[in-house]
Structure 1
Amino acid sequence: MPAPLPASPNPLDRLWLTEAVRLREEHAGPLDDAEANRQARVQGGALPDLIEHRALWLARRDGLFDALRHWRQGAKLAGYALMLLALVTGAGLALATLGDGIRPVNVFWALGSLLGLNLLTLLGWLLGFLFAGDAGGALGRLWLWLSEKLARDARAVQLAPALLTVLEQRRLGRWLLGLGVHGLWLVAMSSALVTLLALLATRRYGFVWETTILGEGAFVSLTQALGVLPSLLGFSVPDMAQIRASGDLANGVESARQSWAGWLVGVVLIYGLLPRLLLALLCLWRWRRGRAQLRLDLQLPAYRLLRERLQPSSERLGVSDAAPAQLHAPSAGAQLDGSEGAVLVAIELDQSQPWPPKLPKTVADAGVLDDREQRRRLLEQLTRFPPQRLAIACDPRRSPDRGTLALIGELSRCAAQSRVWLLQPPAGEALDSHRLQDWHQALDSLGLPHSGSAPMTWLETGHD
């Protein structure tokens, strides 16, 4: 089963999350991605790299990384549950087939019980593989369904479809699900074989064959035909006399017991366990080979539309996407360790506020942001050259509206450390305490430190 998601996603996880973001936008509409696009352009690279950078940024912001980790945990639990079911099923088949040893075992009834369901499902897998393109079968779909249910994360709803969409690019879904199906049957047949050996080693069984409409010649021929391959591996095969003698219910031939036991074990191994092992290895080989060749499908309409936004032929202004219902926590400075410099910027100050204040030589003045073009230029610059410390000055006489808080959040993510400076009102003007409390609550929800005193010492030295 898949391992927990690493801090730096591997190529398959990157494609998986990128496709999950695409499906989410396809069903719920475009996401607020202005900052994601800007971060992707700063990372640079070819269009597939830009699309992945954008998607991973959105996935981190919107919690898809956590959802993928939960989905993997659910997939693990589902895999363990199915493996336990396979173990119990295999052991149950062997116990039901041989019984308690009081009555003789009908060898061909026992063979049908041990191999019948396995061979029927194998035939169904082959037919689905060849004609329907569905190699997962019921077990594969059951595993995906259980994985989603056990994840218990509403954000994981697009992960299973996204995985199948990515794998369908090179028809890898059939190999991955086929690996799971054959692996589970391999566990079941191994459990049956081990239980069979344990019962044969600790109990005394007699073996017979019974028929009403067939002659003994049919049983002799079938027994010898099935024993050809096991005999090559050293398993015993009853001779003609032992086979004929076993057809007499009243005649328990002692010498035939070990021959029938060896024949039964060999047939289960060769025709039950070995095909599943070989097919599981084939699926594993094709899965590993195809996984290394996975790429983004740039012909999808959603990715074609992203080309102009991530590799614009010219920069132009336009209407931004609708604001989200809830602001995202900034996680300020998480990727900016080692940057240098200090910057002071103000947001929408009126003429009554004297600006700029006297600044130390090591602190840069980014001016006052009043319109969208100024914001865009500054965000692009700070994203390319992130400062070590950033102070954001705000006028607390204004309401902390959603647009201002979103801008503060974007600015804070461009610096290793950020603070908000709530300016004092001009002399003779009182400050509304309720509005100031609203500012404090809003900034606390963003996780940003704030104060009403000038942070000049902090900007210059890094500490108060």
Structure 2
Amino acid sequence: MTQLAPLHRLWLTETVRLREEHAGPLDDLEASRRARTAGGDLSTRLQNRALWLAERDGLLGAMQHWLQGARLALLVLAVLAVISGAGLAFAALGDGQNPVNVFWALGSLLGLNLILLLSWALGLLFAGEHGASLGRLWLWLSEKFARDAKAAQLAPALLLLLQRHKLNRWALGSLVNGLWLLAMLSALLMMLLLMATRRYGFIWETTILSPDVFVAVTRSLGALPGWLGFGVPTDEMIRVSTDTRYNSELLRQAWAVWLVGIVLFYGVIPRLLLAAFCLWRWKHGRNALQLDLNLPGYSQLRERLMPSSERLGVNDLAPEHLHNVQAGHSDLQTDGALIVAIELDDQHPWPPKLPASVKDAGILDSRESRQRLLEQMTRFPPARLAIACDPRRSPDRGSLALIGELARSAAQTRIWLLQAPPGQALDADRLSDWHNALQQLELPFATSAPLNWLETGHD
């Protein structure tokens, strides 16, 4: 069975539950049997059952496609964040032909970031949700990039799983703050690049405020960045910055250092700390994530996966379509050779004369005998399995499904299409149906007894 991260196993289990909730129970006879054989608590058995069904129905591949799409969507958003941050720096500083109004530049660089940061904090405190728009955009892009119809229920299942444990806030918080961190880092680096290659003059302008207001605001904003070594223009420098004629090199550098410190302290550092905090809460909650076993979809499977007593027999209808057989993928060590027959009548003497190393599993002619053999083969899968079939019977879905289950429990499987009894002939159309069905299952078949192959492993 495919090895997956714990989160992915829980995610697939929730997806299978959601799928069965909307479309009805899946054909899970073999999946449940394998889950019971593997053992473990109810949660483990539910996950093993879901993983087997996901592999069989292509849901595991769809999840891989969705994850690839999610990574690509995250890369696109990261590129957009970097471009947006650089655009903020260009908008704030301009081309250097005109003086830069320091407070307009500050508003351009930090205004939107601080507003959305405040909105994020209020949403986290009072509503418990945040970043919904950016999260929906990421999920939408993930589904578009995945391009897999089977992935339709993956995103809702993931959201339900995370919302049930209130982890979506920290997952989206990591996404939102991480992207804004990229944007602010991009803006900061672009500012430094522009200031290093262009000559900017800095001014402030007002109609109704006094210079003392700008002095107080500048010094207040620069107090915290001052702890990191970023200087603040002197009172005299601030007062004379209303006129570009007084923009000396020292004054330009003082305003440039102040502006860089403000962006670093109020733009980059808060997003860095919040992204790290959300990531820590996400990882801590992810490690403690568990299934809610009280959900109807799981509680209904309790008796089937952890029966109080073993109940043999199959009451399910045959599946509408057969699933591909992938022999040789058993997780257990395979050994020995086994031969079995399916629904033979008295005209076919059984068993044939067998080599000492080949064991006879008898004739499967009842639900009890089928279930008993399947349980045994799940625990002790043979290295080679021969299945004898009477081609005078039609290859109905039940027989083909049984052949598929038997083949999945062995490393190698061959089908033995028995000859007709003396005085009888095989129907050509029915034999052709057998050939077509077994080719669809990708199983080798022959009309001669594969006894030498069973004994030695080759013809």
Residue 109 to residue 277, structure 1, CA distance change in 2 (3 Å): same
Match of 1:416 in 2: 411
What is the rounded CA distance, in whole Å, between the counterparts of 1:325 and 1:117 in structure 2?
A: 56
Superposition map of 1:19-418 within 5 A: 19-248=14-243, 251-316=246-311, 320-335=315-330, 338-418=333-413
Which structure 2 segments of 5+ residues have no match?
none
Q: CA deviation at 1:460?
A: 1.3
Q: Percent identity?
A: 65
**Alignment match of 2:450 (pick from 452, 455, 460):** 455
Letter in 2 for 1:279: L
SS at structure 2 position matched to 1:184: helix
Residue 137 to residue 336, structure 1, CA distance change in 2 (3 Å): closer
Letter in 2 for 1:262: V
The alignment of Structure 1 onto Structure 2 pairs a total of residues equal to 459
- Residues 196-245 of structure 1: CA distance to partner in whole angstroms, max 9, x if unpaired? 00001111111111122222222111111000011111112111111111
What is the rounded CA distance, in whole Å, between the counterparts of 1:412 and 1:433 in structure 2?
A: 26
SS at structure 1 position matched to 2:359: strand
Q: Report if the CA contact (8 A) 2:314-2:367 is conserved.
A: no
Q: CA deviation at 1:374?
A: 1.7
Letter in 2 for 1:199: L
Q: Report if the CA contact (8 A) 1:246-1:252 is conserved.
A: yes
- Residues 319-367 of structure 1: CA distance to partner in whole angstroms, max 9, x if unpaired? 6344333211121120156421211111112232222211122222212
Residue 128 to residue 321, structure 1, CA distance change in 2 (3 Å): farther
1:437 counterpart = 2:432: yes
Q: CA deviation at 1:255?
A: 3.2
Q: CA RMSD in A?
A: 1.6
Q: Report if the CA contact (8 A) 1:336-1:386 is conserved.
A: no
Residue 170 to residue 91, structure 1, CA distance change in 2 (3 Å): same
TM-score w.r.t. structure 1 length? Answer: 0.95
What is the rounded CA distance, in whole Å, between the counterparts of 1:123 and 1:240 in structure 2?
A: 31
Q: CA deviation at 1:251?
A: 4.6
Residue 51 to residue 346, structure 1, CA distance change in 2 (3 Å): same
Worse-matched range after superposition: 156-165 or 13-22: 156-165
Q: CA deviation at 1:371?
A: 2.0
Residue 322 to residue 93, structure 1, CA distance change in 2 (3 Å): farther
What is the rounded CA distance, in whole Å, between the counterparts of 2:114 and 2:150 in structure 1?
A: 39
Q: Report if the CA contact (8 A) 1:14-1:56 is conserved.
A: yes
Q: Report if the CA contact (8 A) 1:140-1:178 is conserved.
A: no
Worse-matched range after superposition: 99-108 or 433-442: 433-442
Q: CA deviation at 1:314?
A: 2.6
1:12 counterpart = 2:7: yes
Q: CA deviation at 1:369?
A: 1.4
What is the rounded CA distance, in whole Å, between the counterparts of 2:70 and 2:397 in structure 1?
A: 39
Q: Report if the CA contact (8 A) 1:167-1:173 is conserved.
A: yes
Q: Report if the CA contact (8 A) 2:202-2:244 is conserved.
A: no
Which structure 1 segments of 5+ residues have no match?
1-5
SS at structure 2 position matched to 1:255: helix
What is the rounded CA distance, in whole Å, between the counterparts of 2:247 and 2:336 in structure 1?
A: 94
Worse-matched range after superposition: 30-39 or 123-132: 123-132
Worse-matched range after superposition: 450-459 or 231-240: 231-240
Letter in 2 for 1:19: E
Letter in 2 for 1:314: S
SS at structure 2 position matched to 1:135: coil
Residue 7 to residue 136, structure 1, CA distance change in 2 (3 Å): farther
Q: Report if the CA contact (8 A) 2:416-2:447 is conserved.
A: yes
Letter in 2 for 1:422: L
